[in-house]
A and B are shown apart, each in its own frame.
Chain A
Amino acid sequence: MAGETVTASSYIQHHLQNLTFGNHPDLGWTFAHSAKEAQEMGFWAVHVDTLGWSVALGMLFLWIFRKAAKKASTGVPGGLQNFVEIMVEFVDTSVKETFHGRNKVIAPLALTIFCWIFLMNLMDLVPVDFLPRLFQIITGNDHAYFKVVPTTDVNATFGMSLSVFALIIYYSIKVKGVSGFAGELTLQPFGKWMMPFNLLLEGVGLIAKPISLALRLFGNLYAGELIFILIALLPFWVQFALSVPWAIFHILVIVLQAFIFMMLTIVYLSMAHEDH
């Protein structure tokens, strides 16, 4: 929290500011001390908290699954193996239901997306002040910014959705060839005499995929986080009554958003594989 004179808006703004390390035009490579400084750094800045948490959670996911995979046996599975197998099977079924081609990237990709996003969303259930305050105590800086939910950072969601977009383009071209993909963008729905119009329609449809993917996840989690922050502003005796139901409801949102991101990725990639 930002010291003695905490107002509601400064509290909220403080909570929505990432810990940014970047190249400030006047100060050089440094941590941003304010939202304005962070903005002035432009593109050449890194949200250390977002990257740190997402990488840590991704590694946690891979560590758990790798541990189970190493010990995977065909006998009676233990608890961890059981859990991992259920997840893998669930993802595998989802992929098989939607995607009928042969592609050994999509299933692991979907698993990574689901588990990773789920873990990142899960950070939303940690009380809003807990980890930031801990971080401030550890660093000794009472004004340090710290956002623990990577998916409330639009960079994180766009990082993933643009990767998916790159895969869509890659597979579209790989499966249909450059001309086939170009034809798909320009020759439908209205035939070749309406080519510019077709390109506009299909182009918008194509571009909308990564944007909607990223913004849906970001919007849901950002809103959820914001409500937690607003609840945290209330007197302590109502906080519990409000944050518990919201957290319980949020469990649903967390899983659902991870699932939607995964499913849409599968759907987009299967569309990229289909010839019209």
Chain B
Amino acid sequence: MNINLTMIGQAIAFFIFVVFCMKYVWPPVMDALRERQKKIADGLDAADRASRDLELAQEKAARELRQAKQQAAEIIEQANKRSNQIVEEAKDLARVEGERLLSAAKAEIDQETNRVKETLRSEIARIAIAGAEKILEASVDENAHSEMLNKLAAEF
């Protein structure tokens, strides 16, 4: 229990230890700790950022998908409309064409009828004259009576 020089020796040792610790132990360990803290913080930040990016990308992808679907629906609708239109147009065209053909045919038929009528008419006139010649036996002057007979034939 004597107070003696040991106390001073202890104080000197204490001083040296503290200085050593301050110079060679504390700074490297603290630096390493701080750097690791920074690294971990950076890593966490990066992870956060990445997950945020992922979320954004997912959102974007969903949005684009929705847009694409909408576009596709629009296109299909347009196509349907267009096809209907085409069908309608074709129908109209066909009807017009049919009518044209029909009228052409009718005209042709009329023409033919007229031509036949004409032929028939002249034929009848000739037959009538021939008949009359037979009946009257030359009492009838062909030149004098043909005009009258033609008038008669025109009455058919």
Contacts of B13 in A (CB 8 A): 51, 54-55, 58, 159
Q: Are B39 and A159 in contact (CB under 8 A)?
A: no
Contacts of B20 in A (CB 8 A): 62, 66
Q: Are B29 and A51 in contact (CB under 8 A)?
A: no
Does chain A have a CB within 8 A of B10? yes
Interface flags, B13-28, vs A, CB<8A=1, else 0: 1110110111011101
Q: Indicate whether A85 sits within 8 Å of B5 (C-beta atoms), given known contacts A51-B10, A51-B13, A162-B11.
A: no
Partner of B6, one of A58, A73, A108, A156: A156
The tally of CB-CB contacts under 8 A between chains A and B is: 133
Does chain A have a CB within 8 A of B2? yes
Does chain A have a CB within 8 A of B33? yes
Q: How large is the interface on A (under 10, 10 to 19, 20 to 34, 35 or more residues)?
A: 35 or more
Contacts of A179 in B (CB 8 A): none
Does chain B have a CB within 8 A of A14? no
Segment 77-96 of B: residues with Cβ below 8 Å from A = none
Chain-B contact segment, one of A39-47, A182-190, A236-244: A39-47
Partner of B15, one of A44, A46, A163: A163
Cα-based distance from A46 to B2 in the complex (angstroms): 10
Q: Are B10 and A43 in contact (CB under 8 A)?
A: no
How many residues of B are counted as interface, with CB atoms below 8 angstroms from the partner's CB atoms? Answer: 31
Does chain B have a CB within 8 A of A228? no
Q: Are B26 and A108 in contact (CB under 8 A)?
A: yes
Interface flags, A44-82, vs B, CB<8A=1, else 0: 111100110011001001100110111011110100010
Contacts of A50 in B (CB 8 A): 6, 10
Q: Indicate whether A68 sits within 8 Å of B29 (C-beta atoms), given known contacts A41-B4, A54-B10, A155-B4.
A: yes
Using a CB–CB distance below 8 Å, which chain B residues touch chain A? 1-11, 13-15, 17-18, 20-22, 24-26, 28-33, 35-36, 39
Beyond the given pairs A62-B25, A112-B14, A156-B10, 20 more chain A to chain B contacts, judged by CB atoms under 8 angstroms and listed by A's residue number, are: A42-B2, A51-B13, A58-B13, A58-B14, A58-B17, A62-B20, A65-B25, A66-B20, A66-B24, A66-B25, A72-B32, A88-B29, A104-B22, A105-B18, A109-B21, A112-B17, A155-B2, A155-B7, A156-B6, A158-B10
Using a CB–CB distance below 8 Å, which chain A residues touch chain B? 18, 20, 22, 38-39, 41-47, 50-51, 54-55, 58, 61-62, 65-66, 68-70, 72-75, 77, 81, 84-85, 88-89, 92, 104-105, 107-109, 111-112, 116, 150, 153-156, 158-160, 162-163
Q: List 25 A-B contacts (CB under 8 A).
A: A18-B6, A20-B4, A38-B2, A42-B2, A42-B4, A46-B5, A51-B10, A54-B10, A62-B25, A69-B24, A69-B25, A72-B32, A74-B32, A84-B29, A88-B33, A105-B18, A108-B22, A109-B22, A154-B3, A155-B2, A155-B6, A155-B7, A156-B6, A158-B7, A163-B15
